[in-house]
Structure 1
Amino acid sequence: MHKIRRISLFVILILLIFVGYKYLSLSGLLKKTNISIGDKSKSVKNNSTLSSKKPFSVLLLGTDTGDLGRTDKGRTDTLMIVTVNPKKKTTTMVSIPRDTMVAIPGLEDTFPQKINAVYTFTDLNQTVNDISKYLNVPINFVALVNMGGLIKMVDKVGGVKVKSPLSFAYNPYTAHDTGNDLYKFIKGSTSYYHTTNGVDWTKHKTMFGNAALAFTRMRYDDPLGDYGRMLR
């Protein structure tokens, strides 16, 4: 649980640092967004939500596009809801498994669908609305980041140090431990190794964007499967 809390705080910290780097407050970043919650006749005033110091929720979405030659719309393989209670000074974070089965409103004839495909078939607003209704949780803000965005965020903060929970090798282009462009992570270590030719390895003590993307994407060799990937 301590590891999960640290990971949660890290993700939130990265998000806040990124927003701060752009010289925008969360309310300023989203002031043009008017997201429906539950009843579409009602909407959330983002600025007043923050100033009231009432609990609010942020939907974090990560799409599997934006790097490695991928230019399609992508699927939201990462779905997390972060709920902040300013008065109690608590933050909770819940990951939604991407394979959760849903019927997409308006596209029931395509049932069954995975929840990560709602964004692919519709748009950002309907994704927020559908997830809000499915979980019966009001969502006040949303942040959408693709793989290229993850690389940029990690690089902007000068890299990160992450202790790997297991040992594995991963090639971003093959999604396995095959090929020449390999990253090797060691259980219990913050250092990792990288090779571009499959022969000469270089050791790195700080994880930058490309390595962070490789570290978070691997799932086939994780004994916990997609759950282990969500934790990383």
Structure 2
Amino acid sequence: MKRWLKMTLGAAALLVVGATAYTAYVYHSFKTAANAMYHPRSIVQPGSVSTLATGGAGRSVDTDSGSSTPNPAAISQFKPFTVLVLGVDRRPHDPGRSDTMIVLSVNPAEGSMLMFNIPRDTRTELIGRGREDKINHAFAFGGVDMSIRTVEHFLNHPIDYYVQMNMEGFAKMVDLVGGVEVHNPLDFQYEGHHFAQGNLNLNGAEALAYARMRFDDPRGDLGRNARQRELLKQILAQSISKEGLLRVKPILEAAGEQIRTDITFDDMTTFLTRIGPSLKQTDTVELKGHGRKINGVYYYIVDEQERQRIHGVLEKHMLTEAISP
């Protein structure tokens, strides 16, 4: 065998071994981080989305380009599911409050995600507490379990999974994914940062301040909620991008420290590799209400008609329609 052929085959073998070793390393890192994040709910366990697909790997090869693409027929076998995202600010000698509450509805068959905030000051019954209060106080009184049960009661709809993120760790995650780009609708200053109107590239500290400001926003908490939703969309997009995959180890390590969830390793893998790439559309909706002081305390009041409207929007998005292969 000629020397150049031996060298070529040797180099190819090294590349295959290196690629295999790197894949195994990434897999191990991901599984370790997923296990560190995993904190099951003590009351109700969600069903697994990854066990609902039948057949093979759910991906097909485009014979024209040779690229691997999501198989719509396989994706359509996943049921829709909901996720409650809790952004928690912890205080000294205080369990913290869920100052950010975002509900995600994911419909794999439709390739779409619905996203909306529940304003932190929303007045509702805290399930397990026996009285009405601000919805973000549910976390302080009963942690994740009370938060989920209260949201389920408020929406009259089950929550399949939760993701709890430490807001201080949020800044670190933004830096690790390489920052985020947002469109800022208004010019403002907050916590020493100036945010000009228009498209902005934000680092972690800037993104955290951008997410927290509400009193200088003409729309108050609703304006802040809109900014938070955009940030969450950008972080998700950056995390599964090629650039994000290059930073996979520090991203996973940070996630293991800052995030708690009842999404299992198998379901997380399913979402990242099969469901996530099929999502082509993200819709947002706003929970309408009005502010009112009751006994000197400010609340956001959502009437029953509005709750029924949001329930209907959520139900409609969760309906699965078959996709033609």
* TM-score over 0.5 for the pair: yes
Q: Using the alignment, how far apart are the partners of 2:126 and 2:182 within structure 1?
A: 37
Matches of 2:194 and 2:136 in 1, distance apart?
A: 28
Question: Shift of residue 36 of structure 1?
Answer: 4.4
Identify if the C-alpha distance between structure 1 residues 154 and 34 changes in structure 2 by more than 3 Å, giving closer, same or farther: same
The gaps in structure 2 that reach 5 residues or longer are 1-26, 54-76, 228-325
**Residues 27 and 47 in structure 1, CA contact (< 8 A), matched pair in contact too:** no
Match 1:63 to one of 72, 88, 96: 88
Equivalent residue letter for 1:105: I
1:107 aligns with 2:129: yes
CA distance in 1, matches of 2:110, 2:169: 32
Give the one of 200, 203, 213 matched to 1:218.
213
The equivalent of 2:111 in structure 1 is 89
Q: Secondary structure at the match of 1:161?
A: strand
Matches of 2:206 and 2:160, distance apart in 1:
32
Given candidates 149, 163, 168, the residue that maps to 2:169 is 149
Q: Which residue of 2 aligns with 1:202?
A: none
State the Cα distance separating 1:153 from its structure 2 match: 1.2
Instruction: Using CA pairs under 8 Å that are at least 6 residues apart, name the structure with larger relative contact order, 1 or 2.
Output: 2
The 3-state SS of whatever aligns with 1:60 is strand
Match of 1:185 in 2: 195
Corresponding residue for residue 53 of structure 1: 78
Separation of aligned partners in 2, 1:29 and 1:91:
26
Q: Kindly provide the amino acid, as one letter, of the partner of residue 205 in structure 2.
A: N
Which one has a bigger Cα radius of gyration? 2
Q: Percent identity?
A: 38
**Could you tell me which of 202, 220, 223 is aligned with 1:228?**
223
Q: Which runs of 5+ in 1 are unaligned?
A: 1-19, 38-42, 172-181, 191-205
Query: What is the root-mean-square deviation of aligned Cα atoms in Å?
Result: 2.8
CA drift at 1:207: 1.2
1:160 offset after TM fit, Å? Answer: 1.3
Letter in 1 for 2:198: G
Retained in 1: the 8 A contact 2:135–2:150?
no
Deviations 1:39-82 (A, max 9, x none): xxxx423355664610100100111237xxx5732111111110
Q: How many Å apart are 1:162 and its aligned residue?
A: 1.8
Corresponding letter in the other structure for 1:187: Q
> Per-residue deviation at 1:220?
1.1
Partner of 2:3: none
- TM-score by length of structure 1 reads 0.67
Q: Please say if residues 30 and 141 of structure 1, whose CA atoms lie closer than 8 Å, have aligned partners that are also in contact.
A: no
| 1:201 counterpart residue number | none
Distance 1:24 1:208, change over 3 A: farther
Give the length in aligned residue pairs.
178
Name the aligned partner's letter for residue 104 of structure 2. V
Equivalent AA in structure 2 for residue 230 of structure 1: N
TM-score using structure 2 length: 0.49
